[in-house]
Amino acid sequence: MPRGGKSYLLIDHRGGGGSLQEMATLTCCHCNRAVVLHPLRQRERGYCRKCDAYRCDNPGCVLECTPFEQTIDIVLKHPDEPWGLVDQFGNPLVRSELREKERIY
């Protein structure tokens, strides 16, 4: 699937007397999270021009362009680092000097 690819979420509660819900989703180019697209959202969706893809509203994804592919590269090169951890606000816990050293953009 291309970066920032579109997909959908299907929730089926028909077996319990509920309904079938189908919602569009996007994948964040910085953290790789699936974002459910709310059809009534008024404000513009986040977009990273460097990655040429959509991003989520987590502060760590908004403030800095750290593509998910770069995080994977860091993990492979530095397995002893806490590379994939994020705090409660979505800010990456990767040391900034490692991100700069391994920057691909």
Let me know if residue 91 belongs to a domain. yes
Let me know if residue 1 belongs to a domain. no
Let me know if residue 50 belongs to a domain. yes
User: Per residue in 47-60, pLDDT tens?
Assistant: 999 889 999 998 88
Let me know if residue 92 belongs to a domain. yes
Q: Find where tokens 């569009």 sit.
A: 24
Torsion angle defined by CA atoms of residues 35, 59, 75 and 84, in that order, rounded to the nearest 10 degrees: -80
> 3: pLDDT confidence band, cut at 50, 70 and 90?
very low
Let me know if residue 40 belongs to a domain. yes
What is d(CA 74, CA 46) in angstroms, rounded to the nearest whole number? Answer: 25
Let me know if residue 59 belongs to a domain. yes
Query: For residue 33, is pLDDT > 50?
Result: yes
Let me know if residue 83 belongs to a domain. yes
pLDDT over 70, % of the chain:
71
Q: Which domain holds residue 94?
A: 6-101
Please say whether the beta carbons of 57 and 89 come within 8 A: no
Where is pLDDT greater, at 71 or 11? 11
pLDDT, position 1:
38
Query: For residue 2, is pLDDT > 60?
Result: no
Q: Find where tokens 């920057």 sit.
A: 103
- Our count of domains for the chain comes to 1
Let me know if residue 29 belongs to a domain. yes
Q: What is the reported pTM?
A: 0.65
